[in-house]
Structure 1
Amino acid sequence: MQVLPALDGGGVERGTIEITEALTAQGWGAVVVSEGGRLVPSVTRAGGRHITLPLGTKTPWGIWRNASRLVELMRGEGIDLVHARSRAPAWSAWIACRRTGVPFVTTYHGAYSEKTPGKRRYNSIMARGARVIAASGFIADLLRTQHHVPEDRLRLIPRGIDPAAFDPAAVGGPRVARLAQAWGLPDDARIILLPARVSRWKGQSVLIAALGLLKRPDLCVVLVGSDQGRQAYVRSLLDQAASLGVTSQLRMVGHCADMAAALMLADVVVSASTEPEAFGRAVIEAQAMAQVVIAAGHGGAAETVEDGDTGLLVPPGDALALADAITRVLAMPEDTRAAMGARARASVLRDYTVQAMQQATMAVYEEVLADSAALSAISYETSRHS
């Protein structure tokens, strides 16, 4: 059973579906518990079953109530292992696992803020798994230093992409053309694409500031991703664009179901996160499409982009540096850009495939279940001889 707040979209949600596919392919039953969302049908298509519970609640009484619901669910469904992917659901699941004796695994997906002791304690639930999966070396180091997770419980499993889905050769012109038309992109524009949910720390405002500095009417910035109800931030971005005189060069297109085609539209792909990405799946998706990526040089992106070889890294939050990097990429000869994109795709195919992530995660499950079985056998023998 995997638990998370909702299934609206994002790297955590897609990872949940990918593991559901791996479980069912190996003959396991796969249950996903969340508040629901537009990706629920994807769980079903992957062979799993979704059960709706309000696991996003962060109130203490809500967490305890959800724990009791999960206990009932786990016993009714015969759950052998629980994998928690977010903090509030993890607290409920951890309590339920302690009551039932079911093994508990976590994936630490984010570099959570820890400004107060209370916040650090709240975050610590993600470090309490029998195995704690880190999505990048950056997160693994954070788990060692901030939560003192020992090496025998820590597993580094980067996220991955499906090489067949993110393959430039598999994306036909009509798919790309349909998106360009739907988004109203000028035929002669150079497209700067930022794929990320619309959130302050994802750096959309940094890219708009860079667009204002560039003063190039041939550029069009496309922000791809759901705002998830953050209307105040959306308005601030539109106001920023208006103040810089670049409103006509900005497109905010919302969620896109065909990210491979969206990435093919781009002349440059940008990841401008102002806080470190735990991994940064959008970066490797773009690299898999042989695109040149400019990324903020911290967190997981600093591991997947080799500066000057498979992309460019810039200081986080630095609009001037981002503008300079965009200028550099657009000025590259076509064969130079193509070679950089080819090296980027090769590095992803070597190190960051969904198949490798699935296999490594399934190995963790089997390891934890074997440990649990061994402990149960020891407990049985002890009780039999006492």
Structure 2
Amino acid sequence: MALTRPTILQIIPELDTGGAELSAVEIADAIVRAGGRALVLSEGGRLAPRITATGGEFVPFAAATKNPARILWNAHVIRQMIENEGVDLVHARSRAPAWSAMLAARRAGKPFVTTYHGAYNEKTRLKKAYNAIMAKGDTVIANSQYTKRLIEERYGTPSDRIRVIYRGVDGSKFDPAVISEERKAALRARWRAAPGTRIVLQPARLTAWKGQSTVIEAARLLKADNRLGNTLIVLAGDAQGRDSYRHRLESEIRAAGLEDNIILPGHVEDVAAALAVSHLAIVASVEPEAFGRVATEAQVMGCPVIATDIGAPPETVAAPPKFKAEEATGWLVPPGDASKLAAAMAEALSLTPDARAALAGRARNRVLQNFSLESMRLDTLDVYDRLLGTQLRASYK
């Protein structure tokens, strides 16, 4: 007999910020809208209230622990929860809790799904064994073709067990037409951006692999060449305890004489408005992005974007030489190459209004056609349906 109201349990360490965290919220909402019951186990964070706001159930849980003994105990607790709450499927979105979730799901005889969100570091055999849990789902969701290839190469996971589901962007939320002047003015005031100032935004947590140092050096090169002008570069993101890295960036900014051109304002909650006031967005990662949602969010907002040509951005940003100039939606540059980044920044900032509008239109249309939130939700519900024999996708409203 088919399940009429399946209960789906997602587990993720925290619900603070990031693509994996936001996906957990968005899929909880999709499950509820399809008539299912959505449980989310996590230590919590600023996104936790959104779980309950969608009709899902947030369950405080020590999901971030990496202690082996606690992971085994968590597996016992999750299995009890599966039985007590009638959980039909378990979906893990991060490595440490995935071990507990898999043990619990296997013991309870329930389907187990993983989403491989990141291009995890595998410098040792132990780390590779730890990461391998994310390839052990009955279905493994890869958030890009790049990620799918990574899973196949690293773990030999059969292609038919991997489902590529791109990270989705909400085109109704990320729409220049719905961003009020008040929202934009609030951000410009917070950043102390004078009227007429061009804003270049890099929304990324403060960690070395996100490439903030490359952005600082590119700005120095532009200033030395008298091409920076009245530009404010906003390195927006939490340090997340990496205070020494933040201090290092501040030192680099001072050494380059860019105190009036670069700020580190911390986390930006209203990313859509931040992109709406920005003349350019940058994804400067020096290690591969498994997806890189900033690239798609910027494009759907009509904000020109430069990304590094590693990982998934070559899938999401249409750039020469693969695409003709009249088809391009942004720029791709080599990772860590401040000179190439500076050149792309200069070109993007010098676009005429007509050229910028044409690029913005192409970019928004491409994202809505290929990387929409609705597609991500429907495809994920389809994964659940195939494992459970349910009709969640067809019931989604």
**Common fold: TM-score over 0.5:** yes
> Which residue of the partner structure matches residue 147 of structure 1?
155
Q: Distance in 1 between matches of 2:317 and 2:34?
A: 33
- The answer to whether the 8 A contact 1:217-1:249 is kept is no
| Residue aligned with 2:26, SS | helix
- Amino acid paired to 1:187: P
> Which residue of the partner structure matches residue 271 of structure 1?
283
Pairing 1:96–2:104 present: yes
* Mapping of residues 320-331 of structure 1, within 5 Å: 320-331=339-350
Aligned match of 2:136 in 114, 122, 128? 128
> Which residue of the partner structure matches residue 4 of structure 1?
12
Pairing 1:203–2:215 present: no
Pairing 1:316–2:324 present: no
With 313-322 and 144-153 compared, the bigger mean Cα shift is at: 144-153
- Give the percent of matched residue pairs that are identical in Structure 1 and Structure 2: 46
CA offsets 1:167-190 (integer angstroms, 9 cap, x no match): 111112221111101221122322
Aligned match of 1:45 in 38, 48, 53? 53
Q: Distance in 1 between matches of 2:61 and 2:120?
A: 24
> Which residue of the partner structure matches residue 361 of structure 1?
380
- The answer to whether the 8 A contact 1:191-1:221 is kept is yes
- Amino acid paired to 1:358: R
- Amino acid paired to 1:279: F
- The answer to whether the 8 A contact 1:131-1:153 is kept is yes
Q: Distance in 1 between matches of 2:188 and 2:312?
A: 30
- Amino acid paired to 1:247: E
Deviation of the 1:332 alpha carbon: 2.0
Pairing 1:335–2:332 present: no
Q: Distance in 2 between matches of 1:319 and 1:292?
A: 18
Aligned match of 2:363 in 321, 341, 344? 344
- Amino acid paired to 2:281: V
Pairing 1:29–2:48 present: no
Q: Distance in 2 between matches of 1:55 and 1:370?
A: 29
Give the alignment's TM-score, normalised by structure 2.
Answer: 0.92
Q: Distance in 1 between matches of 2:317 and 2:285?
A: 14
- Amino acid paired to 1:67: A
* Mapping of residues 167-182 of structure 1, within 5 Å: 167-182=175-190
Q: Which runs of 4+ in 1 moved over 4 A?
A: none
> Which residue of the partner structure matches residue 74 of structure 2?
66
| Residue aligned with 2:233, SS | strand
- Amino acid paired to 1:11: G
Deviation of the 1:198 alpha carbon: 1.6
Q: Distance in 2 between matches of 1:367 and 1:188?
A: 53
| Residue aligned with 2:114, SS | strand
Give the alignment's TM-score, normalised by structure 1.
Answer: 0.94
Show structure 2 runs of 5+ residues with no match. Answer: 1-8, 321-327, 391-397
Pairing 1:184–2:184 present: no
| Residue aligned with 1:155, SS | strand
> Which residue of the partner structure matches residue 157 of structure 1?
165
- The answer to whether the 8 A contact 1:107-1:132 is kept is yes
CA offsets 1:174-209 (integer angstroms, 9 cap, x no match): 211111012211223221110111211111111111
Aligned match of 1:295 in 303, 307, 315? 307
> Which residue of the partner structure matches residue 376 of structure 1?
none
Pairing 1:214–2:222 present: yes
- The answer to whether the 8 A contact 1:87-1:123 is kept is yes
Q: Distance in 2 between matches of 1:205 and 1:70?
A: 42
CA offsets 1:231-289 (integer angstroms, 9 cap, x no match): 11111110110111101211212222211110011111111011110101111010000
Pairing 1:240–2:248 present: no
| Residue aligned with 1:73, SS | helix
| Residue aligned with 1:248, SS | coil
> Which residue of the partner structure matches residue 28 of structure 2?
20
Q: Distance in 2 between matches of 1:305 and 1:70?
A: 40
Deviation of the 1:230 alpha carbon: 1.5
> Which residue of the partner structure matches residue 80 of structure 1?
88
- Amino acid paired to 1:49: E
Deviation of the 1:325 alpha carbon: 0.6
Q: Distance in 2 between matches of 1:59 and 1:320?
A: 44
